[in-house]
Structure formats: C-alpha cells, structure tokens
Amino acid sequence: MRVRCVGGIVVDGAERLLLILRGHPPGEGLWSLPGGRVEPGESDAAALERELLEETGLRVRVGDLAGTVERPGPAGVLYEIHDYFATPAGGTPRPGDDAADVGWFGPGDLARLPLTSGLLETLIAWHVVDAGVSG
C-alpha cells in the first residue's frame, strides 16, 4: 500500500535547515525533515502547512517541489514523500505532535547528526546542501 506524504525543506535567513528529532517510529531518535501524511481531500500544500505547524510550531509558505522519495514502512507500506521548499512565515520553533525536538542546523552540522536513512544524500542530490558537508 502506498501512502502519500509531504516533507518541508525549510531554510532560514542564516542558511540553516529546519529538522525535527523523530519521537516515534519510523525513524525514532533520528533527525529528519518535518512532514507527514496527506489526508484524504487535502492538497500537498495544505498538508505541509498543517504538518509543519503541528510538528514545529511554525507557519510556512509552501514553495516549489524539491523532489520525491520512496521509503519502506511497516507491514508493507511504502511512503511516497513529496518534499517541498518552504519559507518560515511566523511562529516559534517548538517540538510538537510526534517530534521530540526541533532545531535549525547549518550545512556543516548535518554530517554529525543521526539522520534518517538517505536524507543527507537526497539533500545533496537536490542541491539543498553542498556535497562537501558529507565529510
């Protein structure tokens, strides 16, 4: 079964990327892009705005699609994740929903963080961060 999801690539004025520390499986204890499932009848943009507000406390303006990845989930589920660029539009970062923590990280921080599988490689492939950050 395929499950449509969205993720947000949110970069602030200091070129830092917004990440959440996942508080529940899949990926519990790993840093990831904020996002989640698209509800029936919901647009990707509406889902991303809702998920980012729930997980990070931030309101965002959704921009262009950065790309799509597929990740296996439990019981044969396949998460089809559509990641969009987004810009902060208000709020104060705080963990919520299934996020154990939230933070802004510079490109040089990413290689030392425990990230969800494939995240750094995907961000490099999409030119979100420079290939030199992988160490």
C-alpha to C-alpha distance for 79 and 2, rounded to whole angstroms: 6
The strand pair at 78-91 and 2-10 is best described as parallel
pTM of the model: 0.93
pLDDT digits (tens, 9 = 90+) for 85-130: 999 999 999 999 789 999 999 988 998 999 999 999 999 999 998 8
Question: Quick one: pLDDT at residue 133?
Answer: 65
Please compute the mean of the pLDDT values over residues 63-87 and round it to a whole number.
94
Question: Quick one: pLDDT at residue 98?
Answer: 84
Q: Which residue has the tokens 């969205």?
A: 6
For residue 9, give the nearest of 93, 114, 128, 125 by alpha carbon: 128
Using only C-alpha atoms, the chain has a radius of gyration, in whole angstroms, of: 14
User: Where exactly are the structural domains of the chain?
Assistant: 2-134
Q: Which fold has domain 2-134?
A: Nucleoside Triphosphate Pyrophosphohydrolase (3.90.79)
